Structure 1
Amino acid sequence: MTKILVANLGSTSFKYKLLEMSDAEHELASGACERIGQSMPGTWQLKVGDEIKSGEVVFEDHAAAVELHLSELIECGVIASVSDVAAIGFKAVHGGPISGAVRVDDEVLETMARFNVLAPAHNPPYIAAMKALKRVAPDTEQVAVFETAYHQTIPAARQVYGVPHEWYEQYGIRRYGFHGASHSYIASRMNKIDPAAKRIINCHLGGSCSICAIKDGKSVANSFGTTPQSGVLHNNRTGDLDVFSVLAMRKHGLSEEDIFSQLGKQGGLLGISGLSADIRDIEEAAATGHEQAQLAIDAFVESCRHYIGAYLVALGGMDAITFTGGIGQHGKQIRAAILKDLGFAGIVMDDVKNKAADGNDENRIDHADSAVRIWVLPTNEELMVARQTVAVLQKQNI
């Protein structure tokens, strides 16, 4: 039996799933920690089956959080010892020229560090955690599964920007695409439940959002660019932006640090609404007549429709459109707004099915008159990371 712990890290958070990667591929446990590296106690939770344990403790760093959970997993009998975990798979974000699933070593860490500037909210905590975990579990393999991997099949013309070519060759400035684990899972799942759908537009909508054009199971376009800050509007990240607007803000007295902090933390739905980064709060406010909240919703919807239209052309039509992620799976009003009046493209949503859809299950919500199938599908990024982690172990005969 091969047990893989899949880690999803934030600067102050740690979430994971422990998966048994036998033929059945099933989840053994899941857990999370918050407020890591802060002076105040952080919360932690462990779920094994229907049993939930939780508590509060001060976490010095990510290693302390992982150490606590490994101890709890042993105490609960999920594993006998740390050595039962064959590897830790990381849903890593930006490795620049490194793509796919790779064993974490000094070269990988150094390359990730070079790209910290392009993924400041992701790479630094992953690097720190990888180093710290090596001290806690030195005999446990670590595998980084980069989010860019699935998008290596995107044609070159959709990868390049109109910048001097040496920017691309020397500095890696191009469109990479992210959310690879989620988009590849949906492609894999659709191949099983709707194999006739060869041209798919997948909308991963949540705190972070991206739209992907999939043809014959492969990514051919993705809304993200050089960084995870770009593309569709996000909860508090800007999405697409004219880079020259930064010059205007500098002339208005903002420092470069202030500008990019605001773009990365105070933009998107939060920036437009002025209220919240959570679409549920914004929808509530819009229902009471809050104009900025409604504008945030409208802008988000238009952002999604923009990419759907572009990818409809890139694919030469489509067989299915899929929705996943927190908003994609549960945002019934958002789905309806995105798909409104698209009958000319053969896309007709069934209002009754849409309202009845449980976001935790797989649902078809297209109307009988629709030429395009419309699916609401839970994603499973951890499973994709675990599969690729196992593949690395098998390749290296570990």
Structure 2
Amino acid sequence: MRILVANIGSTSFKFQLFDIASKRSLAQGRVERIGQPGGDCPDYETAIDRCLATLVGPRKPLADLSELSAIGFKAVHAGPGPGLRFVDDELFSDMERFCFLAPAHNPPYIRAMRAFRDRHPKIPLVALFETAFFSMAEESRTYAVPFAWKEELGIQRYGFHGASHRYAAERAATLLGRTDLRQVSCHLGGSSSLAAIKDGAGIDSSFGMSPQSGLPHNNRVGEIDAFAVLYAMKQLGIGIDEMASILARESGLAGISGVGGDLRDLEAAGGNQRAKLALDVFVYWIRHYLGAFMLQLGGLDVLSFSGGIGENRAAIRRRVCTGLESFGLVVDPRLNRKISGELDIAALESKVRVLVIPANEEWIVARHAAELISSNTPGGGADETPRAPRGI
């Protein structure tokens, strides 16, 4: 079975083709500056054609398009429904309802999914939502607001980055040879989050209802008192949509520093006190959630780092882990500095293993798409309701 995974950005399209049986990536590529001035790709339809042109034909991974079993999408938010779904009109409706909460993600995914469906209507499309990994207890999921909001509007905590955290959990279990692990997974990048994982299941997340919550992100706000936002709106005369744009595009590390939200720029800013403060705030909130999740898990067996920052910024890993010796966590400074790829950077005497695990979200999407396709093969009955694999 061959699965194409589409990772959609607001102006970009990354893709990767997998052979499920061999667990191999057969090809990958990207199309940039879609619909942007100076770019040469006017729309997603053109991007799709270019993607498939690199994959299908003589001496290419697919001899014919019929060899493609499905296209999987690492989608973000469709509310409280199933986390793994076939792409259809009902899914579009659910995603559109939550566009306000995921303005950087849902609109481009909807456009790309529609373009794929219109271009190639016979190829099954599957969405694995970033919320799918989390099975929070009701006391963790529920906000202290009128309960009707939860029932009628879906206002609750969801958690995101599920594919990355799931992969980190699976790799930790494989590397350590056990599944009964208490793990905190740190996905740190342009968008960042922590997940509490018990026995391979995501039981909590630093994210709340939207991808703007939790840790401070590159340019998205993270944790903030709701009344601070209302106060600023009242004092500055800012409307809902303008404030939403500020929180989603002009806040986070960029908002604090004034020099941008990229960690490399912040670390290179030298004596810039606001850049230093942005880094300090970032580390503070990582440690805040790490401590909370350690308590929730009743201890810690594994701390893992993934994402562009988690995998590549030794200074951030060092600062996060400093002073945790009394909790049985000791990092080997040499391994932390020298790491390239996947490695346990904990010192020999550390009771907690500290793993750097390069993210592989696309494989998780491909595998789950294949499972959904396999569980709904022809012959199950024309009116049979599509089923998601267990645990989704």
TM range, smaller chain: over 0.9
Letter paired with 2:163: A
1:273 lines up with 2:273 in the alignment: no
Equivalents in 1 of 2:289, 2:374: separation in Å? 38
Contact 1:83 1:139 in 2 (8 A): no
Equivalents in 2 of 1:369, 1:194: separation in Å? 16
CA displacement at 1:275 relative to structure 2: 0.4
User: What corresponds to 1:221 in structure 2?
Assistant: 204
CA displacement at 1:369 relative to structure 2: 2.4
Equivalents in 2 of 1:300, 1:195: separation in Å? 32
**Secondary structure of the equivalent of 1:118?**
coil
Question: Equivalent of 1:236, from 185, 207, 219?
Answer: 219
Equivalents in 1 of 2:307, 2:204: separation in Å? 18
Say which is worse superposed, 90-99 or 76-85, in terms of deviation.
Answer: 76-85
User: What corresponds to 1:116 in structure 2?
Assistant: 99
Question: Equivalent of 2:83, from 63, 84, 100?
Answer: 100
Equivalents in 2 of 1:98, 1:31: separation in Å? 31
User: What corresponds to 1:379 in structure 2?
Assistant: 359
CA displacement at 1:60 relative to structure 2: 2.3
Pairs within 5 Å for 1:348-363: 348-358=330-340, 361-363=341-343
Task: Mark the runs of 5 or more structure 2 residues left unpaired by the alignment.
Answer: 379-392
User: What corresponds to 1:54 in structure 2?
Assistant: none
Letter paired with 1:391: E
User: What corresponds to 1:200 in structure 2?
Assistant: 183
CA displacement at 1:99 relative to structure 2: 2.3
Question: Equivalent of 2:50, from 61, 68, 78?
Answer: 68
Contact 2:172 2:355 in 1 (8 A): no
Letter paired with 2:226: V
Equivalents in 2 of 1:314, 1:345: separation in Å? 14
Say which is worse superposed, 30-39 or 328-337, in terms of deviation.
Answer: 30-39
In angstroms, what is the RMSD of aligned CA positions? 1.2
Pairs within 5 Å for 1:238-317: 238-250=221-233, 251-285=235-269, 288-317=270-299
CA displacement at 1:352 relative to structure 2: 0.9
Equivalents in 1 of 2:83, 2:94: separation in Å? 14
**Secondary structure of the equivalent of 2:70?**
strand
What per-residue deviation string (whole Å, max 9, x for no partner) do you get for residues 61-96 of structure 1?
212101111012225522122222211100010111
CA displacement at 1:386 relative to structure 2: 0.5
CA displacement at 1:29 relative to structure 2: 0.6
Contact 2:324 2:330 in 1 (8 A): yes
User: What corresponds to 2:324 in structure 1?
Assistant: 342
Equivalents in 2 of 1:323, 1:72: separation in Å? 33
Equivalents in 2 of 1:99, 1:337: separation in Å? 38
**Secondary structure of the equivalent of 2:268?**
helix
What per-residue deviation string (whole Å, max 9, x for no partner) do you get for residues 13-50 of structure 1?
1111111111x210011111111122422xxxxxxxxx
Say which is worse superposed, 191-200 or 2-11, in terms of deviation.
Answer: 191-200
Greater relative contact order: 1 or 2 (C-alpha under 8 angstroms, separation 6 or more)?
2
User: What corresponds to 2:2 in structure 1?
Assistant: 3
Letter paired with 2:368: Q
**Secondary structure of the equivalent of 1:71?**
helix
User: What corresponds to 1:319 in structure 2?
Assistant: 301
User: What corresponds to 1:46 in structure 2?
Assistant: none
Equivalents in 2 of 1:108, 1:14: separation in Å? 20
Question: Equivalent of 1:77, from 24, 41, 60?
Answer: 60
User: What corresponds to 2:387 in structure 1?
Assistant: none
User: What corresponds to 2:347 in structure 1?
Assistant: 367
Equivalents in 2 of 1:100, 1:387: separation in Å? 14
TM-score (norm 1): 0.92
What per-residue deviation string (whole Å, max 9, x for no partner) do you get for residues 221-272 of structure 1?
1111000110111111111111111222222233322221111111111111
Equivalents in 1 of 2:371, 2:353: separation in Å? 33
CA displacement at 1:168 relative to structure 2: 0.5
User: What corresponds to 1:50 in structure 2?
Assistant: none
Equivalents in 2 of 1:70, 1:329: separation in Å? 31
CA displacement at 1:118 relative to structure 2: 1.4
**Secondary structure of the equivalent of 1:116?**
coil
Letter paired with 1:322: S
Letter paired with 1:190: A
Task: Mark the runs of 5 or more structure 1 residues left unpaired by the alignment.
Answer: 42-57
Equivalents in 1 of 2:91, 2:220: separation in Å? 27
Q: Percent identity, aligned pairs only?
A: 45
**Secondary structure of the equivalent of 2:285?**
helix
Contact 2:310 2:317 in 1 (8 A): yes
TM-score (norm 2): 0.93
Equivalents in 1 of 2:225, 2:212: separation in Å? 13
Contact 1:99 1:148 in 2 (8 A): no
**Secondary structure of the equivalent of 1:221?**
strand
CA displacement at 1:188 relative to structure 2: 1.1
Question: Equivalent of 1:209, from 180, 192, 197?
Answer: 192
Contact 1:18 1:28 in 2 (8 A): yes
Letter paired with 1:85: L
User: What corresponds to 2:17 in structure 1?
Assistant: 18
**Secondary structure of the equivalent of 2:326?**
helix
User: What corresponds to 2:142 in structure 1?
Assistant: 160
